[in-house]
Structure 1
């Protein structure tokens, strides 16, 4: 994996409670490497999403059916197998998935065919910041002081008077 972008944890000058990082993801399935498992460490408390964009045949692929399937877990944590792509060089050499989001662990398998098949996308990490961080608390205090001074200024405004009705003759 290669780093694509590392976004800042600051929005409008205030530290955000969640930071994101995005990394380029790719893997190749072929006759010698028929499966690849995308997983993260159990000790990592960040949220991870794999957003797949493209599955395509590459140079050296034969004109045969290459079926790619995903093995993951459903909401009841039961294993499910989903065939996602049936690629053939002369008919459909690639498939655009438009950010097909998966949560790890997920396994990609070349069910049939010899490939090579490439999968590409983004590995997005959502880092949770501790809200008790000193820097975040100080920013929050500064913000609340600004709010109080704005409320005091608003209290000095004259009351709104009702509009006068115009009489028709």
Structure 2
């Protein structure tokens, strides 16, 4: 199991050695300071050593991993007898620590057997980890049973409900944490850049929307004006046709009257001719 341990502190020790001259009486300390004394003091001072950046990075990479702990829990019953915990993948160092197994309300007074299916180098194995019965034992503490995902919990006997609780531990090294922090910073920077871009585009989009709305209003006004002009032309054409028809009406009435008079005159002529013919025939028959 990975445990969270603090990083070792990098300490730098600076040691200055005191020459015998420092312990001399006060009257001797008043003597003039010669170059030999300065050289001796410089040689007696311990050199100051600083770790190179590569060594500091190596020390950080060799630091123990940091563990993140998450609550784990699941329930088994007659409907759901198996629950699998696949884990986060092969690249993630993680562990599942079981704490308690307990029966819930309504569990019948029969044996409830919980088995765990896990992977080993030889293959998949089944291991019973808890046997409970409401009248004898309703809960058991597993003492931190450590499992490596993927694992499957199987209620092989009983109908439950049976509940499992524990911890999901995920180990993250400092380099992984730094990479994750870098990814998060890049994501935050990308989000901030997108927000700034959206804020910069907002006035342009509003202006474009306003221009589009103005164009729509102008097009609607043009269509309305064209419709009104067409209606006016139609009304003018109708009134012109009405005036033309009104002007034609007397002429048509006069023509109709002339035609009717001509018909009456022709009828009268035919009638007179018929009478004259009848008179001549009558005179001829008497003679």
TM range (shorter): 0.5 to 0.7
2:70 & 2:91 partners in 1: Cα distance?
A: 18
Pick aligned residue for 1:98 from 138, 143, 148: 143
Paired residues for 1:15-164 under 5 Å:
16-42=63-89, 45-76=91-122, 78-130=123-175
What SS does structure 2 have at the residue aligned with 1:27?
strand
Q: Distance in 1 between matches of 2:109 and 2:68?
A: 38
Q: Equivalent residue for 1:155? A: none
Q: Which structure is richer in relative contact order (CA contacts within 8 A, separation 6 or more)?
A: 1
More helix by share: 2
Q: If you compute each CA radius of gyration, which structure gives the higher value, 1 or 2?
A: 2
Number of residue pairs matched by the alignment = 125
Structure 1, residues 58-112: CA drift from partner, whole Å, max 9, x if none? 1111111111000112233x11011111110001111110000000000000001
**Residue 135 of structure 2 aligns to a residue in which SS?**
coil
Q: Structure 1-normalised TM-score?
A: 0.66
TM-score under structure 2 length normalisation: 0.40
CA–CA separation in structure 1 for the residues paired with 2:114 and 2:88:
25
When you count strand as a share of all residues, which structure comes out higher? 1
SS at match of 1:104: coil
Unpaired runs of 5+ in structure 1? 1-6, 135-169
RMSD: 2.5
Which ranges in structure 2 are unaligned for 5 or more consecutive residues?
A: 11-59, 180-287
C-alpha distance in 2 between matches for 1:51 and 1:69: 15
